[in-house]
Structure 1
Amino acid sequence: MQVSKTAILTTVANFELYRKTSILFPEGVQKYIIDGRDGMHGIHSLVYMMHKLKNKGIHWLIMADEDVVFTDNKLVFSLIDKMNIEGITVCGVRDGGVVLHRKKNPFVINTFFSVINLKEVFNIWNKKEMLKNQYIEEGEFQDDLSGLKGDFDRKSLYEPYYCFYFWLRRQEKRFLFLESKMCSDMIANDVYYENKKLLCHTWYARSYGENKKHTDRINVILNANGVENNIETDFMDVIIYKKRWFYMQKLIRKYYKYLIMKLRK
Structure 2
Amino acid sequence: MNKSPIAILTTVANFELYQKTVQLFPENVQKYVIDGRNGMHGIHSILFMINKLKGKGIEWLVMADEDVVFKNSEAVFSIIEKMKNNDITVCGVRDGGIISHRNYNPYLINTFFSILNFKEIEVIWNEKEMLSNQFLTENEFDDEVAKLFYEYDISSLYEPYYCFYLWLRRKGKKFLFLDSVMEEDGVSNNVIFNDEIILCHTWYARSYGLSEKHTKRINNLLGKALNFEINRKQQKSKIIFYKKKTFAIEQMIKKQYRRICLKLK
Point out where structure 2 has 5 or more consecutive residues left out of the alignment. Answer: none
CA distance in 2, matches of 1:233, 1:124: 38
CA distance in 1, matches of 2:90, 2:152: 20
Q: Which residue of 2 aligns with 1:53?
A: 53
Q: Which residue of 1 aligns with 2:123?
A: 123
Residues 35 and 242, structure 1, Cα contact 8 Å, conserved in 2: yes
Q: Which residue of 2 aligns with 1:253?
A: 254
Residues 20 and 227, structure 1, Cα contact 8 Å, conserved in 2: no
> What CA deviation, in whole Å up to 9, does each residue of 1:59-95 have, x standing for no partner?
0000000000000011110010000000000000000
DSSP-derived class of the 1:3 partner = coil
Point out where structure 1 has 5 or more consecutive residues left out of the alignment. Answer: none
List aligned pairs for 1:155-166, cutoff 5 A: 155-166=155-166
1:244 and 2:245 matched: yes
Shift of 1:187: 0.1
Kindly provide the amino acid, as one letter, of the partner of residue 221 in structure 1: L
List aligned pairs for 1:87-98, cutoff 5 A: 87-98=87-98
List aligned pairs for 1:76-95, cutoff 5 A: 76-95=76-95
Q: How many residue pairs align between the two structures?
A: 264
Shift of 1:233: 7.6
DSSP-derived class of the 2:33 partner = strand
CA RMSD of aligned residues (A): 1.4
Residues 208 and 218, structure 1, Cα contact 8 Å, conserved in 2: yes
- State the TM-score, normalized to the length of structure 1: 0.97
- State the TM-score, normalized to the length of structure 2: 0.97
List aligned pairs for 1:155-234, cutoff 5 A: 155-228=155-228
Kindly provide the amino acid, as one letter, of the partner of residue 240 in structure 1: F
Show structure 1 runs of 4+ deviating over 6 A: 229-236
Kindly provide the amino acid, as one letter, of the partner of residue 74 in structure 1: E
DSSP-derived class of the 2:220 partner = helix
CA distance in 2, matches of 1:147, 1:243: 42
CA distance in 1, matches of 2:105, 2:75: 27
> What CA deviation, in whole Å up to 9, does each residue of 1:156-183 have, x standing for no partner?
0000000000000000000000000000
CA distance in 2, matches of 1:227, 1:84: 35
Shift of 1:147: 2.3
Shift of 1:244: 2.1
CA distance in 2, matches of 1:230, 1:262: 56
DSSP-derived class of the 2:103 partner = coil
Distance 1:232 1:138, change over 3 A: farther
DSSP-derived class of the 2:191 partner = strand
Residues 20 and 233, structure 1, Cα contact 8 Å, conserved in 2: no
CA distance in 2, matches of 1:80, 1:36: 27
> What CA deviation, in whole Å up to 9, does each residue of 1:22-71 have, x standing for no partner?
00000110000000000000000000000000111000000000000000
Residues 23 and 234, structure 2, Cα contact 8 Å, conserved in 1: no
Q: Which residue of 2 aligns with 1:66?
A: 66
DSSP-derived class of the 2:102 partner = coil
